[in-house]
Structure 1
Amino acid sequence: MTPMADKVTPSGTTPPSGHLLASLAPLLREWLPRQRWFAGKGRPVTGFTQVAATELLPPDGRLGLYHLLLRVHQPPALGAPPHPGDCYQLVIGVREALPPRLAPALIGHVIEGPLTGRTVYDALYDPRPADVLLEALRTQARVGGLRFDREPGQEIREGLVARLMTGEQSNSSIVYGDTFILKLLRRVVPGVNPDLEIPRALAREGCARVPAPTAWLRAEPADEPDASYVLAVLQPFVSGAADGWELALRELAKGEDFVAEARALGRATAEVHTALAHALPTVTLGHAQLRSLVDGMTERLVAAVQAVPALRPYERGLRSAFEALDGLAAEGRTWTAQRIHGDLHLGQCLRSPSGAWSLIDFEGEPARPLAERRLPQPPVRDIAGMLRSFDYAARSVSPPAPGWADRCRAAYCSGYAEAAGRDPRTDPVLLRAYETDKAVYEVVYEARHRPDWLPVPLAAVRRLATSDPTLARETRQ
């Protein structure tokens, strides 16, 4: 039994509206913008709205624990329409004093409101609150508006030691005894989340390339009776696995080739795409549907040029990639669209000690609306994301190794063709359009968050901003 398992079935008390905010708001205004997963960097926090608050452990002992869904209000980004505010999931610990081992988790010392005199912190750093979450999933608890669900037939062993993964992530992950990993989503929206939906569908299809969900956490806030938020997903932990990005960088640093791994990763991607095409509906994209996709790409390009003036010299060439795709559709060309990963890159792939590759994190690009992330897309969108990732890896070392990227890109496409029966390079116009769209997204992201990395996507922009779709020839070099 975990140390606090006897306390994992609390009353689920919902604090009175404003109870927590009175104490937390002054501290969260400063703490939230410093978090890696906070999406509103560069804009001041002007206020909060409590979506839901659940007391998991009462703060009358040595440790209190609250689960909070909080809408954060900020001025809209330049040129953006008014926005109701992003909703974030917080698990807040309350102690009289914070032990030194939890110093990185500190949110602040409360000086007003009902928690005055207490210290509050990000409870995911603390193994004891992490035990509470796992025990609730194990027992399929119902705590206030929180619903801890478990896949039928799946078991969760007691006594697994928790540790927070501290790498750079857009969410938070806790590993339990090298057996499970709990991915806790930070920015949440109501609706069917693909990070749960797609792995469950692949599990039913028998696809072993994606870890099957064991359990998950949902919220059904009392003030939003028709809303359901997916908050966390528990999956098997691939012990000893190597992150694809870190593995690629290691091989680059040693001057080693990555061709065999890239080819195997291409096969794994194709197997996942094939399973998804069987598990979930596919659609045919004709001219009307392609025109909508092209319009979206063009609109993102226009917005990106306004946000990052360095793109302006390449705008016409980049636009030609989208116009070429629209031209093919106008001639009657059609494409098949299906559910895909949506944000595929080396960091979303794991290689087990046996050498098998797995794909993880099916949330899609968090900045895009949930409904858009769940739309069927041409599988080449995932492929374009991986090709861009090879380029990122090759340009992250000094001196850059573009030849390494070219060989990996070619091997990945060949591996994909071996498993899928079709080579993405045989459709160069479609591939160029999606890689261009991805590079434009990267330019905006890097300009806002990591300016030192901006030369990486700008190098791709210079290559892609050509009226002649040479991508097929380039990837075969």
Structure 2
Amino acid sequence: MSQAVTRSVTAGGPGLLASLDPLLREWLPRQRWFSGKGRPVTGFSLVAATELLPGDRKLGLYHLLVRAHQPLTPVHDTVPHPGDCYQLLIGVREALPPRLAPALIGHVHEGQLTGRTVYDALYDPRPAEVVLEALRTRARIGGLRFERRDEIRPDLVPRVVTAEQSNSSVVYGDTFILKLLRRVVPGVNPDLELPLALAKEGCSRVPPPTAWMTAELDGESYVLGVLQPFVQGASDGWELALRELAKGEDFSAEARALGRATAEVHTALARALPTVTLGHVQLESLVNGMTERLESAAQAVPALGPYVPGLRSAFEALADLASEGHTWTAQRIHGDLHLGQCLRSPSGQWWLIDFEGEPAKPLAERRMAQPVVRDVAGMLRSFDYAAHSAGGPPQPEWAAACRAAYCTGYAEAGGGDPRTDPVLLRAYETDKAIYEVLYEARHRPDWLPVPMSAIHRLAAPDTA
């Protein structure tokens, strides 16, 4: 395997892309991680193509970075953009065995791969082994760079994670999990940057990166994937909460422990990376952004209309404090924290994962210092969602108990009780609920009552 990796060369891309273009136009928009849903793909341009296993053999493997071109939408696109760049691992065979049927991309009828079958190679153990071997040996293949901090055994059996994700993951022998980023952008990705910083601080609440892969292209670096220890037997926080809720079990103790874990991560990030002070000018910009999002959402979702004055008051109260001279500390945070971004090990320890932030936002914005209460607000909203999602009637009392326990745990770990800054907490929770209303109205109208119930609460004058 290592011999195949070291002899690989950058592939001649135009002919390869011509072979794949008609198939990718159909296959790519169906993927969970494709961000341009609702708009047709009008074409592709090749960013990079690297041959990992020769395509003229029984099994070929190509690593591709392709830019998908789509028509602009007047509502969402204010300036032209070149299209999103996606990372693809393309396997090539004469025919697919039945076990690989879910991975099928299509049968090639033109170009250099004519007569061959192409598929998503992550479903195939052999290509997945090639990627792990490249990480293990710190390989350099074309513009691809494979790095590692710790030793990796060479005999770990891979299996793809089939659960729907915004990226793709492969587990190796219940020892490691590789998260392969699908939509990639140049620059420092927080999904590698923050776990590395936390590992140096000795923070035990985040699995430390074991290895990672990047691409160096035209003087720019792209983070492509991160290999971390696999927390065997861990429960996803969202699924765990729903199971306990369905059984009528109290979740307060877990919420409290999760609050402590969150505070420990925030404290370690504040030690590892610079913090800043937000004064009147910075808060004015922040409040303006929240207010603009409210106005835009109210235009798109008429149900928000009656609540706009009350919701705007949440932001105005924050602006008033800033004008009186109040300041707040901002630091690096998780950026997209909710129950689904947490794992509970069989021993009861909570872990935080997936530090990529909200993928739809620009990378520079995801790396900005922000008040920690933004993460807290995301988790509080997640408890509310869980209370509406267990299959029975909503259980607001369950959510309220979890929210209180989470804040208590956060304070116990030295993070400061978020409830002692009610104006800031209300503003961030309001901003999050407005985002949820817009998302649900566009994508899951049946779920709209969930954030609207929070909107009703947050718009009340005595919420703070």
| Matched residue, 1:247 | 240
Give yes or no for the alignment of 1:294 onto 2:287: yes
5+ residue gaps in structure 2?
none
Q: With structure 2 as the length reference, what TM-score do the two structures score?
A: 0.97
C-alpha displacement of 1:74:
1.2
1:445 aligns with 2:443: no
In the alignment, is the contact (CA less than 8 A) between 2:377 and 2:432 conserved in 1? yes
Aligned to 1:474: none
Of the three residues 54, 76, 79, the one matched with 2:50 is 54
Select between 73-82 and 350-359 the one with higher mean Cα deviation. Answer: 73-82
3-state secondary structure, aligned to 1:368: coil
Residue 354 of structure 2: aligned partner: 361
What TM-score do you get using the length of structure 1 for normalisation? 0.94
Of the three residues 204, 211, 221, the one matched with 2:207 is: 211
Instruction: Give, as a single letter, the amino acid of the residue that structure 1 aligns with 2:6.
Output: T
Quick check: 1:242–1:350 contact (8 Å CA) kept in 2?
A: yes
Of 387, 392, 399, 2:393 maps to 399
Give distance in 1, aligned partners of 2:263 and 2:69.
Answer: 41
Please name the residue that 1:475 is paired with: none
- Cα distance change, pair 217–313 in 1 and its aligned pair in 2 (3 A): same
Match of 2:5 in 1: 8
Q: Distance in 2 between matches of 1:140 and 1:455?
A: 50
Q: 1:326 aligns with which of 304, 319, 335?
A: 319
Per the TM alignment, residue 421 of structure 1 is displaced from its structure 2 partner at its CA by: 5.0
Of 435-444 and 365-374, more deviation after overlay is shown by 435-444
Residue 419 of structure 2: aligned partner: 425
State the shift of 1:228 in Å: 0.5
Q: In structure 2, what is the Cα distance between the partners aligned to 1:78 and 1:421?
A: 43
Extract unaligned runs of 5+ from structure 1. 471-477
Is 1:114 aligned to residue 107 of structure 2? no
Aligned residues of 2:264 and 2:415 also touching (Cα < 8 A): no
For 1:37, the aligned partner's letter is W
The one-letter code of the counterpart of 2:447 is W
| Superposed counterparts of 1:177-256, under 5 Å | 177-221=173-217, 225-256=218-249
Q: 1:458 aligns with which of 447, 452, 458?
A: 452
How far, CA to CA, are the matches of 1:440 and 1:310 in structure 2? Answer: 11
How far is the alpha carbon of 1:141 from its aligned partner? 0.3
Report 1:130-145 matches (<5 A). Answer: 130-145=128-143
- Is the partner of 1:420 in helix, strand or coil? coil
Distance in structure 2 (CA, Å) of the matches to 1:75 and 1:308: 24
- 1:5 Cα deviation after fit: 4.2
Separation (CA, whole Å) in 2 of partners of 1:281 and 1:217? 26
In structure 2, the residue matched to 1:272 is 265
1:28 aligns with 2:21: no
SS at match of 2:207: coil
Contact 2:180 2:226 in 1 (8 A): yes
What displacement does 1:387 show? 0.2
Query: Secondary structure of 2:355's match?
Result: coil
Kindly report the root-mean-square deviation, in angstroms, between the aligned alpha carbons of the 2 structures. 1.3
> Cα deviations across residues 376-422 of structure 1 (Å, max 9, x unaligned)?
00000000000000011111122111111000000000000111252
Query: Distance between the aligned counterparts of 1:421 and 1:342, measured in 2?
Result: 17
How many residues are aligned here? Answer: 461
Cα shift readout 1:249-271 (whole Å, capped 9, x = no counterpart)? 11011110100000000000000
Q: Judge conservation of contact 1:270–1:419 (CA < 8 Å) in 2.
A: yes
Amino acid aligned to 2:355: F
Which residue type is aligned with residue 241 of structure 1? A
SS in 2 for 1:228: strand
Contact kept in structure 1, 2:267 and 2:415, CA below 8 Å: no
Contact 1:429–1:469 (Cα < 8 Å) also in 2: no
- Inter-partner Cα distance in structure 2 for 1:296 and 1:452: 28
Q: Distance in 1 between matches of 2:28 and 2:412?
A: 46
Three-state SS of the structure 2 residue aligned to 1:233 is strand
Residues 1:100 and 2:98 aligned together: yes
Instruction: Give the letter aligned to residue 133 of structure 1.
Output: V
User: Residue 278 and residue 90 in structure 1: after superposition, are their counterparts in 2 closer, same or farther (change >3 A)?
Assistant: same
Alpha carbons of structure 1 residues 393 and 78: separation in structure 2 relative to 1, 3 Å: farther
- Distance, in Å, in 2 between the alignment partners of 1:328 and 1:423 is 19
Q: How far 1:47 moved relative to its partner?
A: 1.5
Contact 2:5 2:141 in 1 (8 A): no
Aligned residue runs from structure 1 range 66-81, under 5 A: 66-79=62-75, 80-81=77-78
